[in-house]
Amino acid sequence: MIIAIARHAIYRLCLYLIAKKLNVPAPWTAWISIVQIRTFVMSADKPAWWILLLLVPLVNIVAGVYLWMCITENLGRNKWLGLLVLVSLVGFI
């Protein structure tokens, strides 16, 4: 249980720091459970309707990976580095 809480806190901290670096309005919303989806989508510079894609099963995996690719591109890195998010997903499967 402690490991799960720590992992979740690290994810929220990273999302907060990314949003802050990308000048997303109100990056502190990364700490609020449901609202963090909005922060995630805004960090990728996608419209708000992308939130709905993240709520659809199986579509959310593809959309999430694509959003991470957009975020890495917005950070000035190669967008294919966003595929590294699949490393943890493969471990889950």
Pick the more confident residue, 93 or 22.
Answer: 22
CA distance 61 to 67: 10
Domain boundaries, the chain: 2-92
The predicted structure's pLDDT at residue 93:
54
pLDDT reported for residue 50? 94
Given a contact cutoff of 8 angstroms between Cβ atoms, the answer to whether 79 and 72 are in contact is yes
DSSP structural state of residue 24: -
pLDDT digits (tens, 9 = 90+) for 7-29: 889 989 999 999 999 999 989 99
pLDDT per position as a tens digit, 27-83: 999 999 889 999 999 999 999 999 999 999 999 989 998 999 999 999 988 878 777
Looking at residue 56, its pLDDT comes to 93
Q: What is the DSSP letter of 93?
A: -
| pTM above threshold 0.85 | no
